[in-house]
């Protein structure tokens, strides 16, 4: 046993190549050394594998110093890799724990932020109802619209009409047979959400109109 570096005798002890006196001294050291106790558990599997590979007639064969050094180095390298992997996993877990509440707060905050004011309009003849939100942009106006009571099948159009009377087609879409947001319609779909834009600014728009493909006005918003 090395008196200066007793930790290096873990592999030799596991392989059973220490002299009895050295083995006894290492066992006394092992009783108070946690690092050697952990290292011994790693070398036990190596020693068992070497005994099995040696065969029945070579169980007592002793590896040379170079082989012992390679075994010691290999286990040390593996333990360093395992430690780095545990540290990386711990870092990832810590990052998730820190980031998750922030993400939840951000989502909740976005949901609670006040949006542009909405205008509700309906037409008693067609039965179409719309909830509309307009937002002034540098390039014009963005519009978010939720339509219900829209029967089909047919094609519909959204038109922005300027205060000068000029019509500006914005969007067209197909309404299936069941319609959108028809009360009591078992085969229909829910309300239809649309997002579109126009180059006109809100101050330049007189009204919005939802029309059928035949030109029938289904709903007028504003004006």
Q: Closest Cα to residue 38, out of 69, 89, 75?
A: 75
What is the mean predicted confidence (pLDDT) over 193-220? 94
φ/ψ of residue 18, rounded to 5: -80, 145
Query: What is the three-state SS of the chain?
Result: CCCCCHHHHHHHHHHCCCCHHHHHHHHHHHCCCHHHHHHHHHHHHHHHHHHHHHCHHHCCCCCCHHHHHHHHHHHHHHHHHHHHHHHHHHHHHHHHHHHHHHHHHHHHHHHHCCCCCEEEEECCCCCCEEEEEEEECCCCEEEEEEEECECCCEEEEEEEEECCCCEEEEEEEEECCCCECCCCCCCCECCEEEEEEECCCHHHEEEEEEEECCCCEEEEECC
pLDDT of residue 98: 45
Q: Could you tell me if 131 and 116 are in contact, meaning their C-beta atoms sit under 8 angstroms apart?
A: no
The position carrying tokens 């050295």 is: 22
pLDDT at position 222 is 87
Mean pLDDT on 135-149: 94
pLDDT of residue 103: 31
Per residue in 27-44, pLDDT tens? 777 666 766 666 666 665
Can you say how many angstroms the Cα of residue 105 is from the centroid of all Cα atoms in its chain? 16
Residue 50 has pLDDT above 70, yes or no: no
Q: What are phi and psi of 132, to 5 degrees?
A: -125, 135
16-26 pLDDT, tens digit per residue, is 777 777 777 77
Q: Give the integer Cα–Cα distance in Å for 71 and 35.
A: 17
Percent pLDDT > 90 in the chain is 40
How high is the pLDDT of residue 77? 61
Distance separating alpha carbons of residues 23 and 92, to the nearest angstrom: 43
pLDDT higher than threshold 70 for residue 208? yes
Answer whether 120's CB lies under 8 Å from 141's CB.
Answer: no
* Per-residue confidence (pLDDT) for residue 61, from 0 to 100: 43
CATH topology of domain 118-221: Immunoglobulin-like (2.60.40)
Mean pLDDT for 150-155 is 93
* pLDDT band at 102; cut points 50, 70, 90: very low
Q: Is the model's pLDDT at 111 over the cut of 50?
A: no
């Amino acid at each position: 046993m090395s008196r200066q570096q007793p930790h290096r005798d873990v592999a030799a002890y596991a392989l059973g190549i220490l002299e009895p006196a050295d083995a006894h001294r290492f066992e006394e050291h092992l009783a108070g050394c946690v690092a050697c106790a952990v290292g011994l558990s790693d070398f036990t599997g190596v020693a068992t594998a070497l005994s099995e590979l040696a065969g029945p007639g070579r169980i007592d064969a002793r590896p040379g110093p170079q082989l012992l050094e390679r075994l010691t180095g290999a286990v040390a390298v593996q333990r360093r890799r395992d430690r780095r992997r545990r540290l990386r996993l711990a870092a990832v877990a810590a990052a998730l724990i820190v980031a998750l509440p922030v993400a939840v707060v951000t989502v909740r905050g976005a949901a609670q932020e006040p949006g542009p004011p909405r205008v509700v309009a309906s037409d008693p003849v067609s039965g179409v109802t719309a909830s509309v939100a307009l937002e002034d942009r540098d390039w014009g106006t963005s519009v978010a619209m939720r339509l219900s009571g829209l029967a089909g099948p047919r094609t519909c159009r959204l038109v922005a009409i300027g205060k000068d009377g000029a019509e500006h087609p914005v969007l067209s879409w197909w309404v299936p047979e069941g319609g959108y947001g028809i009360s009591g319609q078992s085969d229909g779909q829910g309300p239809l959400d649309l997002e579109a834009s126009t180059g006109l600014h809100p101050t330049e728009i007189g009204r919005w109109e939802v029309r059928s493909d035949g030109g029938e006005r289904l709903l007028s918003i504003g004006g």
